[in-house]
Each structure stands twice: as structure tokens, then as C-alpha cells.
């Protein structure tokens, strides 16, 4: 979390959501994460979760305040959906919204509301099958990407969806877990201490977070689905 205002330029707030079943526990802070008491709480009180979605903001559209802090959330089909975006989406606010309206003023939340609207229009009554969710989301995020840079992470509590517009990297770790050196900090993380031998953990980020591991770089326009720690290309 040092990237938020200490070793990185993203000093305009941050947020992290931890899924527990169908609901997501989100901590938001419009203050830089490097000196946040909420970040301190999370460091000292680690919450176990199968899907974690996090974002450190460098404000482009919209002032620095709680309602403009990612990840955003909305309920659809009785599931809590979350959305985090890196990039700028020019003219996205011209897209008309129906069911979902932004609470804040960011281009990102408008894009999320539009995607949720379209998902609801395509499946107004019944929750669609996972394959259809993957297919629709892929199309919709690609469509939104026409407005500019659209690196996004989305979750519906069951899977994590990622779309790479300009930069996203990922790595899957599994037993035997080793150690790795963080890029931003003179710190080595021992994954053995944080995991059990059965765990499979995939991490996605806008750039590799460790210097001594092999990260996979996503291609422009690539869409990815993650479930139970494993990647599944739709």
C-alpha cells in the first residue's frame, strides 16, 4: 500500500473489497493509503477471502471524495458486483443510463452503471448461466473500451473478470510457495506463511508487483475470467 502516495503517484484515495460469500466488505479511504489508519487496520487484521479487488486512485475525472473512490458496487440478480477501473474514458457520460445511476462524478462509475444496465437488459428476469455472463461482460467491457483506456477488474462474487486495454499483468502461485521481493519496497514476502498447501492464488495488477517472479503480461483487448484462483479464458 506504499504505492498510494509514498512510492507511487496514486495519492487520491484507495479502496479494497473482500468477498465473503455473496457480499463484499469494502474499505474506502479518500486519503492516501500510505498514511491511512484504515490501511493499518487491514495490515494488522488480515481478512480471508476468495476474491479481493483493490484500487489506488490517481484522480482524472471527479474530485477526491468518498463517492468517487473505487471499487464501486451495485446489486444485480441478488449478487453484489464490484468494479475497479484504471484509465480515462472520454465521452462515456453521453451513454444513457436506465436502472443504475452514478452516486459520484467519475467516468469509471458511469461506465460501470452502463455495463450493469446492459447486463440487466439482456437478462431482465433470470440470472444467466456463467458462460453467458462471461460472454456478455467481454462484449460490454470491450465496447466501453472504445472511449479510451479501460483496464478493469469486475466481480460478481463468483468470478473475477479482467479486461486489459493497455496494461494488466498476472501470476498464479501454488504450493510449494516461496518468497518474492516487492518492487516498491525493500520487503520480501514469504507466501508460505500466508497460505495452505492446497491454496491456488492468482494476482492481477496493472504492473508486476514483484521483481523476482515471472508475471504474464496480458495483451491489449484480452479478457480473462478467474474462478477459485485459476484463470479461465472464456
Instruction: Give contact residues for a copy of itself (rule: CB under 8 A).
Output: 20-23, 25, 28, 37-38, 41, 44-45, 65-67, 74-75, 77-80, 99-104
**At its nearest, how many Å lie between a copy of itself and the CB of residue 110?**
11
Phi, psi dihedrals of residue 88, rounded to the nearest 5° = -125, 140
**At its nearest, how many Å lie between a copy of itself and the CB of residue 108?**
14
Helices (H), 12-153: 37-44, 107-122, 130-144
Number of Cβ within a 10 Å radius of residue 233 = 9
Rounded distance between C-alpha atoms, residue 31 and residue 168, angstroms: 25
Nearer to a copy of itself, 38 or 149 (CB): 38
**At its nearest, how many Å lie between a copy of itself and the CB of residue 5?**
18
DSSP state of 60: S
**At its nearest, how many Å lie between a copy of itself and the CB of residue 135?**
22
Nearer to a copy of itself, 28 or 85 (CB): 28
Nearer to a copy of itself, 32 or 145 (CB): 32
Give whole-number Cα distances, 13 to 7, 168, 195, 208, in Å.
14, 20, 29, 21
Question: Cell digits for 103?
Answer: 452516486
Nearer to a copy of itself, 6 or 73 (CB): 73
Nearer to a copy of itself, 45 or 193 (CB): 45
Q: Are 54 and 42 in contact (CB under 8 A)?
A: no
**At its nearest, how many Å lie between a copy of itself and the CB of residue 105?**
10
Phi, psi dihedrals of residue 4, rounded to the nearest 5° = -80, 80
Amino acid at each position: 500500500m506504499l504505492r498510494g502516495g509514498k512510492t507511487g503517484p496514486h495519492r487520491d484515495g484507495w479502496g479494497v473489497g473482500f468477498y465473503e460469500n455473496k457480499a463484499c466488505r469494502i474499505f474506502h479511504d479518500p486519503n492516501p493509503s500510505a498514511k491511512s489508519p484504515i490501511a493499518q487496520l487491514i495490515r494488522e487484521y488480515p481478512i480471508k477471502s476468495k476474491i479481493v479487488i483493490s484500487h489506488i486512485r490517481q484522480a482524472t475525472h471527479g474530485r477526491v471524495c468518498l463517492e468517487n473512490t473505487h471499487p464501486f458496487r451495485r446489486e444485480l440478480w441478488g449478487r453484489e458486483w464490484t468494479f475497479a477501473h484504471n484509465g480515462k474514458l472520454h465521452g462515456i457520460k453521453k451513454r444513457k443510463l436506465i436502472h443504475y445511476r452514478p452516486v459520484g462524478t467519475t467516468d469509471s462509475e458511469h461506465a460501470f452503471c452502463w455495463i450493469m444496465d446492459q447486463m440487466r437488459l439482456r437478462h431482465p428476469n433470470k440470472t444467466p448461466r456463467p458462460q453467458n455472463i462471461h460472454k456478455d461482460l467481454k462484449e460490454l467491457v470491450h465496447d466501453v473500451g472504445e472511449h479510451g483506456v479501460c483496464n478493469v477488474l469486475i466481480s460478481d462474487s463468483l468470478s473475477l473478470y479482467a479486461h486489459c486495454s493497455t496494461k494488466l499483468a498476472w501470476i498464479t502461485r501454488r504450493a510449494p510457495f516461496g518468497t518474492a521481493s516487492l518492487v516498491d519496497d525493500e520487503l520480501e514476502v514469504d507466501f508460505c506463511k500466508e497460505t495452505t498447501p492446497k491454496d491456488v492464488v492468482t494476482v492481477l495488477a496493472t504492473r508486476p508487483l514483484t521483481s523476482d517472479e515471472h508475471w504474464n503480461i496480458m495483451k491489449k483487448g484480452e479478457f480473462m475470467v478467474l474462478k477459485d484462483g485459476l484463470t479461465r479464458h472464456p
